[in-house]
Amino acid sequence: MSVIPKELLSKVRRIEIRMAHLVNEVLAGEYHSSFKGQGMEFSEVREYVPGDDVRLIDWNVTARLEKPYIKQFVEERELTVILLVDVSGSSLYGSSEMTKSEISAELAALLALAAIRNKDRVGLMLFTDQIELMVTPKKGKSHVLRVVREILGFACSHSKTSISSVLKTLLKVQKRKAVVFLISDFMDTGYEKELAMVARKHDLICLPIMEKVDYELPSSGLVSFLDSETGELITVDTSDSRVQKIYKNDGLERLSFLNQMLNRNGASAITIHPHSDYLGELIRFFRRRGGRS
């Protein structure tokens, strides 16, 4: 068994403490009311009382006991939650205090801790342009901490992104309906068909991580940018107002197109802005889904 670096354990512990507080104080109830179980399962029978739905009468028990009895059902609450987390080269970047990878780990921890509090199973897929790691859905706090640790500390073998590949894999391995969270900066194209297929089969919620610099270019003169996924080096004059305007328009148009495309194909979307209250936005999303203001 490999030794886990102390720095990584410390990061995991800090995230656990912060996210556990939010789950305990705020999110658990919102999460529970937002997601329905797989259906209703039989619980027991009880004696019929006037006003009960006659369609629920258990005729076998009624005949045996010579009194009318009805079936009672409870919601089959247990869910499977799958976290699809982008760990490509661009996830190592961050213009705020944390990288996109660290933000992804925080979001995953928040969602996973809320899930296990509701006795749901949590699974994980880390992806680049291929599946880097798959963690089978399980319950328990130690399992959730492993999920967070894997996101923060996993060393990927590839740097590019293929969202279609991870969605195709999900469709193959997850046969039963699940709640699927796709966490990525969505620096990719050509995955719309697979996204629509996943949204039809599962409850798909996409969390695009958008740094401020993704649509606002700071004025810093001539700057060389390295594409973390392709390795291409590009030099631009960031002080040029025309360049800044084009960059901002392109960034905002990309975000608008992305949200429209996700909604059109049946996926929910929560844009994550690391420099703002993105955890609050997540909680507000759950409240809207649960029918509360």
* pLDDT tens digits, 187-222: 899 999 999 999 999 999 999 988 777 777 777 778
Q: What pLDDT does residue 1 have?
A: 44
* pLDDT tens digits, 170-188: 999 998 889 999 999 898 9
Lowest mean pLDDT among 32-36, 96-100, 118-122, 200-204: 32-36
**Which option is the CATH number for 6-34+78-209+266-289: 3.40.50.300, 3.40.30.10, 3.30.2290.10, 3.40.50.410?**
3.40.50.410
**In the predicted structure, residue 27 carries a pLDDT above the cut 70:** no
The domain spans of the chain are: 6-34+78-209+266-289, 39-76
Q: What pLDDT does residue 163 have?
A: 96
What lies within 8 Å, CB to CB, of 219 at 6+ separation is: 238, 239, 244
With CA atoms as reference, report the closest residue to 278 among 218, 188, 212, 180. 212
**In the predicted structure, residue 38 carries a pLDDT above the cut 60:** no
**In the predicted structure, residue 262 carries a pLDDT above the cut 90:** yes
Strand 203-208 and strand 179-184: the pairing is parallel
- CA atoms within a 13 Å half-sphere pointing along the CA-CB vector of 95: 13
